Structure formats: C-alpha cells, structure tokens
Amino acid sequence: MNPIDRLAEAFERFPGIGPRQAGRFVQYLLRQNQSYRSTLADSIKKLSAETAQCNKCFRWFVKSDAKRDFCDICGDARRDASLLFVVEKDADIENVEKSGYRGLYFVLSGTIPLASEEPQKFIRLEKLLVRANHRNHRGDASMKLQEIILGLSATAEGDHTRLILQEKLKNAGPKISSLGRGLSTGSELEYADPDTIASAFDSRN
Amino acid sequence: MNPIDRLAEAFERFPGIGPRQAGRFVQYLLRQNQSYRSTLADSIKKLSAETAQCNKCFRWFVKSDAKRDFCDICGDARRDASLLFVVEKDADIENVEKSGYRGLYFVLSGTIPLASEEPQKFIRLEKLLVRANHRNHRGDASMKLQEIILGLSATAEGDHTRLILQEKLKNAGPKISSLGRGLSTGSELEYADPDTIASAFDSRN
Amino acid sequence: MNPIDRLAEAFERFPGIGPRQAGRFVQYLLRQNQSYRSTLADSIKKLSAETAQCNKCFRWFVKSDAKRDFCDICGDARRDASLLFVVEKDADIENVEKSGYRGLYFVLSGTIPLASEEPQKFIRLEKLLVRANHRNHRGDASMKLQEIILGLSATAEGDHTRLILQEKLKNAGPKISSLGRGLSTGSELEYADPDTIASAFDSRN
Amino acid sequence: MNPIDRLAEAFERFPGIGPRQAGRFVQYLLRQNQSYRSTLADSIKKLSAETAQCNKCFRWFVKSDAKRDFCDICGDARRDASLLFVVEKDADIENVEKSGYRGLYFVLSGTIPLASEEPQKFIRLEKLLVRANHRNHRGDASMKLQEIILGLSATAEGDHTRLILQEKLKNAGPKISSLGRGLSTGSELEYADPDTIASAFDSRN
C-alpha cells in the first residue's frame, strides 16, 4: 500500500475517526512543513521514553528526571489512602479530580463485555484483587485501604462489570461501594428513565 | 389575517413548533376531509367539558360520569398519603409512576425564572404552602403528610426553584427533601460534570 | 378512549409528531383557557368554509367574499401562462415564488412510490394530462401553455415520478423540462455526490 | 510542557479535532505497543521522502521509484488536456474523478476569505495565471488548454473566490466556466433556497 493510504489507515484506527477524516488528517500533514511532521513523529516515538504506567493505579504519567514508579497522585502522601476509586480509563480521573475527590485511584482499562466468559481478559482484574486483598508488598498506603468505590459508567456494560467486581471483591477486606444513581446535571424528570427516578428517590436528601 | 395563516399562527404557539412545521400542520388539515377536521375541532372544544383539574394535585384528569373533584391518584385511598412528590408538570407524573412511587403528587406547573422577583406568578406556590401547612380543610389524606419531595429538573432554573421552595417550606410541618443527584442511566464518568460526580460519590452505596 | 388520549392520538397523526410531543400538545391545550381552545377549534372547523382548492392548480387558497374557483396566482392575468411549474405540494410554491418565477403552477400532491403500479392513485395525474393536452375547456390561459417544468425533489421517488411523468406527457403539446441538477447553495465539492458533480459539470456556464 | 500534553496539542491542530478528542488520541497511543507507535511515527516522517507535490496540478502524490515531477493524472497523455478543473483541495479530485470527468486539474489549496485584500496569500493564484496564460514552458499539454472550470464550493467564500478568479482570468486565453447550480441529489423543493431554485430553473433541461 502506498504511504498516503498507509498513514490514512493508521489514523482510521484512532478512536472515533472514519476513513474520510483519516484522509483529511493525511492531507493536513502533507500541507505542513517537514519540521512540523518530524516534531509530531518524534513526540509520538518519545512517548515510550518519556511516559510510564504507574505501578499502583496503572494510569499513564510523565516521567520526571528522577525516575519514579508511581504517578503524582499515588506518590502523594497527602491523598486519603483509605479510599480507592476504580475507574474505567485514565480520562475519567481528570473528571473525578475536578469533583474534589482526594483519595487514590485504580484504572481498570475497560469494561467487561456482556457476553464475556473471562473478565480478566478485558480488565485489570488480578491487579485489582491483589490491591484489594492488601497483598501489595510495596509497603505502601494501600495497607490503609478501607473502601473501594466502583466508578463505572451507568451503562449495561458498566453495570455488568460492576456486578462481577462486587462478586469478585466481596471477600476482600475493604468495603465495596458504587457511585449513586440519580438525576445528573441537566436532566429533566419528564425525560429521565424510571430507574434513574427510582434511584434519585431512594437517594433523596 | 386569513384563516390559513391564522391557524398556522395558532399552531406556532404549540410547544416546539416553528413556522414551517405549523404551516405543514395546516396543509395536512386541508388535505383531510371535513369530518376528520370536525372531530378534531370537537375534541379540542370538549376538553373543558370532559376534563377537570384535580383540586388536590392540580393535574388534569378525565371526568368520569360521577363528577369528582379529585384525580384517580388523589382519590385512591391506598396511596401513601405521607409522601407528596412535587413535580413541574403533569407529564412528569407518568414517569414517576413508572418508577414505582406510590405516594401523592402536587403539580407546580412550571419553574421560577432565575431573574424573577415574584415566584407565585410562575408556580402554584400558595396552594403548595396551604397543602404543606396542613391548612387544607377538605379533611383529607394530606393531614398525614410527613415528607415533601421536591422533584425538580436538575437544571439552573430547577435548582433556583428548589432553593426558593426549600426556603418557603422550611417552617411547614413536613420534612422537605430533594431528589438525589448522581449518574443517570447511560452517563459515563468521562463526560459527567464534576457536580454530578461529587453527588454520585456522596450518595454512593 | 378518554378525551385526552383521543386528542393526543389525533395530534400523533400530524406530520412529524410522535406520541410524546402529541401528549405535550394536549397538556399545552389543557393549560390554555377555554376561549383560546374554542378559537382554535373554530378555525380548524372553518377551514372548509373559508378555504377552497383551486380548480386549476389544485392548491388550497383562502376564499374571498367574491366566491372564486381560482387561486390568486391562477387568476392573475399578468402571470406567464406559457409556463407550468409542476410541484409536489402547496408548500413548494412559496419557495418557487421567492425564486422569482412568474409562470403558473400545478400541484401534484405527492410523488409516486417506487414500487407502485398505479401512479394515478398517488398523484393528480389525470388532471395534469388534461391540462397538458389543452383539453381544459374553461377557455383559459392554459391554451397558451408552451412548457411544463417538472419541479420534483431530487430524490429516488422524485426521479421515479419525473420519469413516469415524462413518459405520460411526451405526446402532449408542451415541451417537458426538468429542473437542472448541480451544486445547491452551501454544498462543497468534497461532499457532493458524483451525479451532482456530473450534472454541475454538464450545466456549467 | 510535558510530552502527553504536547502531543495532545499537536493533535488539536488536526482538522476538526477538539481538546477532548486530542486527549483521547494520546490515550489511545499510550495503550498501543511501542512498535505500533514507531510505525506510525515513521510513516509520518517518511511522507516527505515518499510523496511529492505535482509540478502541474500541485496535488500530493506518491513517488514511484522512477522519480517523476507529475502526478498520475497530469502525466497521463490520454486525459483531455483542453479542460482544466480548478478545485480547492486534493480531496475534491477523488469526487470529481468519480463523476467521470477526464480532463486535467489544478489545486488552489483553499479559498479567499471574504475580507481578504491579498488573494495570492490564500490560494495558488500566480501559478494558476501562469497555467492559464499558456506561459507554462514545460512544453506540455497545457498548451492545448481551451476551458478552465472553476470548481469551487457553493458557499459565500467559494463564490467570493470564484468572482475574483473570473476577474483575474478574464484576459487569459481559455474560456472560464463555473459549475452549474441546481438541486443537488437529495434536496427537496420545499427546503431549497430561492437561489438554488432560480439556478435549477435557468439550467432546466
């Protein structure tokens, strides 16, 4: 395949990008000068050298000169180590941080498909169990873990994953909780689904 | 104005209808036969004769032969009269019913605009206060009222209205509660706003 | 069925209206006062008395006191009677008028479904043939008819209808033409379909 | 700036990509293995080595081993050299090819902003004038040039650019034509704008 089509095909694998937009990306790059393209190519290449995956929460973080195994959050002694917020992906963490949460995180990297027989193939299940079961021997904060909050999407697959995790974690030390359901900002009663209304009613305050 | 434009203008006042669709409604009616139009016109006219507004919850209901002042729900002795669910409009009730709620209702008929000085101009405030303050002398179920649930939209105007109602009702007998906020069905953490996540975290279970 | 549901069902038959919005229409009407509803009902009823279908172009028009068989346009001697613009529905005429066209019109009232065996069941075919074949004995302008412009939508069904009309009309006196295809305002070459580009190329000027 | 943000920022410059999706691209790349990232980086870098801009139509093309100055189309002696189709960007050419056009092309690379004083800053104007004025001394097909088709978008900026080009080219040898306006595939008369209808009427056939 020729280099233009090959590059377009690579961009097509990017999340949410179709053939037409992939083609437009290539055209855009062709119009840029070579130095711009080199810079882009280099920053893609350098990702491996300059980033690392946190050994505790498994999110990606930028390596400082002083090589570390932990990301800023996991390495921050002031965070509340009694709380572990389980999220689907790195991007969720930004949002949860904005909400004022100050505990620790764990990135599942995905959800479990409804049909799936082998959860561990889709999410970081073993690592989560180790963490939950206090068998983490880095002698770190996780020893103080009191509660695991399952921060999964309120979707069919998210619920499916939540139920499996609740089952797998039920004998672990920490309390297992799930995010409350209810009216999310902007929603109107007329359009809310009955489940959401029922949850909003149960968690009324 | 000519009858075609006059009718189009009337339809334009319908919720969510713009000039173009209003015109299409008129064209549609012109294409129907006269008997269809008469039937439609009659059912519009007969609304007043065949429907009534409930004296207790103020929703609209269909009058049965036995003339009643109350709608089915307010007239149903098996409903839990200790709970009063305050909604913005009749349409909300259908959804709340689907959620399994079995208490009573009160229709505010609207929300209070952010700027507004005179809430009572926009919602059925006085009637709600009477109901909340047990001064309802029809000697009915409302005497047993224990809790008022403010079922307002999770919007700026809904919150504004909720805050005003909480203030106005704070000295009334019943406990005043609001629907819980959280992830509504279908929402993903990555796109949820921080307030929603904070509420979902607070109401975790 | 109760009057509220019955009215909602009637509104559901309106073009582009689903159950939810139909219900909202009824709620809207319930909130209005009786005089408003009566006015609306009356203008719907009066449609038959106050409007008529033009005997020549078959569009709907408002009857003036002086009872007429023709609409303003068909009755206007200054219009160019050598041109007949065939449109699908009344609403199209407004748009064509804005384009500066000053000939006459004929409303087909619909298009012919792709599968259909009997065109005449879907459009005003016979009447159009009469008009095209100069057999219109009202001794009117149509005697001067020189060209029939088929103003059909550029859709599969529109094309299907156009082809059938071209066949049916091929032996009629007037020249039969169709609207030119090309780039319509706002379209970009990158997103235009090949047929449109080919037509735009053929009709380049 | 850290490498993750830097890369996200680079992706934000891609056409149609906002901050959120740019971030998702980076996350996607982080999840891929290093070899995938290297391949992507290399194909971006190699663009310069493996592609070239055609000396005649200025579109980008893939260099074959035999180094050429012209793209496939400009180098194809069977193409009709009497026609020059001026397009805004490379992507337009694919669509025009699908329409069956078999002449030559010229890529303007953009349109002229409405406000702009200096057209040449935004499009390849000088090069087009040279080509139009037969001063192209590569002794090639362009000597036979008879007609220049301005294939610009039917947008305000496209029209603005077309008018300027018509003025600039009016004394050049070849005839200057523009794509015909009319109903584009899928458009309905009711929603078409008056200009489109007027053009469709003028180019009726």
Q: What is the pLDDT of residues A111-123, one digit of tens each?
A: 999 988 788 888 9
Strand residues in chain B grouped as ranges (E): 51-53, 60-62, 80-87, 103-107, 147-151, 175-178
Give the CATH H-level superfamily of domain C3-50.
RecR Domain 1 (1.10.8.420)
d(CA D8, CA D17): 10
HSE-CB at C105 with a 13 A cutoff on CA atoms is 30
**If we measure between CA atoms, which residue out of A31, A74, A76 comes closest to residue A53?**
A74
Looking at residue D140, what is its pLDDT?
Answer: 54
Contact flag C203-D180 (C-beta cutoff 8 Å): yes
Report the percentage of chain B scoring pLDDT > 90.
69
- Interface residues of B toward C, Cβ cutoff 8 Å, are 2-4, 6-7, 10, 14-16, 21, 23-31, 34, 37-48, 50-51, 53, 60, 62, 89-91, 109
For D73-89, give one letter per residue: b (16+ CB within 10 A) or e.
bbeeeebebebbbbbbb
Q: Where in chain A is the domain with CATH 3.40.1360.10?
A: 80-202
Smallest CA–CA distance, residue B12 to chain A, in Å, is 22
> D35 or C143: which carries more pLDDT confidence?
D35
Smallest CA–CA distance, residue D92 to chain A, in Å, is 11
Segment B91-103 shows an average pLDDT of 94
Domain C80-202 has CATH 3.40.1360.10: yes
Looking at residue C139, what is its pLDDT?
Answer: 53
Q: Which among A184, A193, A195, A203 is the top mutation candidate for probing chain B, defined by the most B β-carbons within 10 Å of its own β-carbon?
A: A184
A116-163: pLDDT as tens digits: 878 888 899 999 999 998 644 455 544 689 999 999 999 999 999 999
The segments of chain D whose pLDDT lies below 50 read 135-137, 141-142
Report the percentage of chain C scoring pLDDT > 90.
68
Looking at residue D151, what is its pLDDT?
Answer: 96
Report the percentage of chain B scoring pLDDT > 70.
94
With contact defined as beta carbons under 8 Å apart, do C109 and C58 qualify?
yes
The pTM score is: 0.75
C56-73: pLDDT as tens digits: 999 999 887 667 889 999
Helix, strand counts (H, E) of chain D: 7, 6
Beta-carbon contacts below 8 Å between B and C: 107
With contact defined as beta carbons under 8 Å apart, do C85 and C96 qualify?
yes
Smallest CA–CA distance, residue D151 to chain C, in Å, is 7
Looking at residue D138, what is its pLDDT?
Answer: 53
Q: Which among C197, C202, C205 is the top mutation candidate for probing chain D, defined by the most D β-carbons within 10 Å of its own β-carbon?
A: C197
Looking at residue B139, what is its pLDDT?
Answer: 53
Looking at residue D118, what is its pLDDT?
Answer: 83
Residue B15 in this model has a pLDDT that exceeds 80: yes
Segment B66-77 shows an average pLDDT of 87
Q: Which among B25, B27, B42, B43 is the top mutation candidate for probing chain C, defined by the most C β-carbons within 10 Å of its own β-carbon?
A: B43
Segment C125-143 shows an average pLDDT of 71
**Range in A18-27, B58-67, C44-53, C74-83 the model is least confident about:** B58-67
Contact flag D62-A3 (C-beta cutoff 8 Å): yes
With contact defined as beta carbons under 8 Å apart, do A81 and A98 qualify?
no
d(CA C96, CA C92): 6
> C36 or A176: which carries more pLDDT confidence?
A176
With contact defined as beta carbons under 8 Å apart, do B111 and B123 qualify?
yes
Looking at residue B135, what is its pLDDT?
Answer: 46
Looking at residue A201, what is its pLDDT?
Answer: 94
Give the Cβ contact number of residue D166 at 10 Å. 14
> C2 or A39: which carries more pLDDT confidence?
A39
Is residue B196 very low, low, confident or very high in pLDDT (cuts 50, 70, 90)?
Answer: very high
Is residue A69 very low, low, confident or very high in pLDDT (cuts 50, 70, 90)?
Answer: confident
Residue B170 in this model has a pLDDT that exceeds 60: yes
Looking at residue C135, what is its pLDDT?
Answer: 46
Residue D180 to residues C86, C151, D126: CA-CA distances in angstroms?
22, 17, 26
Q: Where in chain C is the domain with CATH 1.10.8.420?
A: 3-50
Residue C173 to residues C116, C120, C125, C130, C143: CA-CA distances in angstroms?
27, 20, 16, 11, 10
Looking at residue A155, what is its pLDDT?
Answer: 93
The residues, any chain, with a CB within 8 Å of residue B91's CB and separated by 6 or more, are A190, C23, C24, C27
With contact defined as beta carbons under 8 Å apart, do D134 and D143 qualify?
yes
